[in-house]
Amino acid sequence: MKIDIILAGVGGQGILSIATILGAAALENNLYLKQAEVHGMSQRGGDVQSTLRISSEPIASDLAAKASVDMIVSLEPMEALRYLPWLKPEGRIVTNTVPFVNIPNYPEMAVIESELAALPAVTSFDMDAVAKEVASARCANMVLLGAASPWIGITSEAIEHAIATVFAAKGEKIVEMNIAAYRAGREKATAL
């Protein structure tokens, strides 16, 4: 088992929580893990990116080479496109369709949608709406994790256990909301 993932989004969306959960699930399954993060601007709505490399064999480097990443997982559609040079030709993008317009020259959504549509493997939908429907808008990151989970190679049970562990200190209600959002995202992605 080997997968390289770029997690992308904007500060405050919960990208680093996804990285923490996937890391915990990987370690629980005795997998090797390397992680590198860029989050210096996260407090000001800047881009946040985390590279996760998960494997059943030892991993030499924290970073993945260009054109080698298996999946880009993003809570913001333009941020998904930002990392295209790292995606394998047959790689998959899983992204929210709701933009986070934090710059004055944000591209037109029609342009972003067109670029995503031209790619071979894209799973995209309004993850904010799914989160609001089943839990809370703050759980959109767990909807995203659920949507990406069918292609990650770690069991759903292990990911749910990691969600419960990571959010345990916030109480059972928060754990239940995040697991519900995760399951809703997984269900929606597999139905597309």
Query: Does pLDDT of 120 surpass 80?
Result: yes
pTM of the model: 0.95
Q: Across-strand partners of 38?
A: 49
Q: What's the 3-state SS for 60-115?
A: CCCCCCCCCEEEEEECCHHHHHHCHHHEEEEEEEEEECCCCCCCCCCCCHHHHHHH
> Residue 161 burial (CB < 10 Å; 0-12/13-18/19+)?
middle
Please name which of 7, 182, 144 lies closest in space to residue 79, comparing C-alpha atoms. 7
Give me the helices (H) in 91-192, please: 109-117, 127-134, 140-148, 156-167, 172-191
Please name which of 117, 142, 149 lies closest in space to residue 128, comparing C-alpha atoms. 142
Residues in contact with 4: Cβ distance below 8 Å, sequence separation at least 6, in sequence order:
51, 52, 53, 54, 64, 68, 69, 70, 71
Q: What is the pLDDT of residues 14-73, one digit of tens each?
A: 888 999 999 999 999 999 999 997 755 545 567 789 999 999 999 999 899 999 999 999
Q: Would you give the DSSP letter of residue 34?
A: E
Q: What is the pLDDT of residues 155-184, one digit of tens each?
A: 999 999 999 999 999 999 999 999 999 999
User: Comparing 38 with 124, which gets the higher pLDDT?
Assistant: 124
Question: What pLDDT score does 43 carry?
Answer: 53
